Amino acid sequence: MIVAIVGRAWADHGGTLTAPLAGAMRLLAGLAFALILVAGLPVNAGAHAALVKSSPARGTTLVQPPQRVELTFSERLEPAYSTVAVLDGTGQQVDLRDAALSPADSRRLSVSLPPLPAGAYTVRFRVLSVDGHVVESDFPFTVGARGAAR
């Protein structure tokens, strides 16, 4: 049905094309549109746990080192299979290894930090949403030089 609608719209604009070419173009346009719809479906209808908010935010430079990293996801997470770690510039894990979901809201995952020296850090997380899908990603943040003076 969608293909038919797109095909008709295309035909309205491409009235000067010869019939076989117009048919092929109509089919291509329909296919492209259908592909876009299919590709968009998991995003629209899907229940993957997407990261919607973080503290520190992705890519920020902080003057004061953060005391913890907090992640908020779009879906509830399975506590046994959801974790977050903070790594320093050499890949060494520097958090206090107490990553846990918030008891009040299982969409929120956090881990606490010791006083971090200035430098570049990576927050790496791997979470399982209650629909059974794993999402794994990471993002950087930086602690500025004045933070190290504390």
- Give the binding site for Cu ion (CB under 5 A): 47-48, 131, 133
Q: How far is the CB of 70 from Cu ion (least distance, A)?
A: 22
Q: How far is the CB of 110 from Cu ion (least distance, A)?
A: 22
Specify the residue, 74 or 112, whose C-beta has the smaller distance to Cu ion: 74
Give the type of residue at 147: G
Choose among 132, 40, 126: nearest CA to 83.
126
* Identity at 119, one-letter amino acid code: G
- Least Cα distance to 128 among 81, 68, 70, 75 occurs for 81
**Choice between 74 and 122, CB closer to Cu ion:** 74
DSSP-derived secondary structure letter, 119 = E
- Which one, 3 or 47, has the nearer CB to Cu ion? 47
Task: Report the residue closest to Cu ion, judged by CB.
Answer: 133
The answer to whether 31 touches 6, Cβ cutoff 8 Å, is no
Q: Which of 98, 131 has the CB closer to Cu ion? A: 131
Token pair 């295309």 is found at 10
CA dist 84 and 93 (Å) reads: 10
Q: How far is the CB of 47 from Cu ion (least distance, A)?
A: 5
| H or E element in which residue 108 lies | strand 108-112
Residue 93 C-beta: closest distance to Cu ion, Å: 27
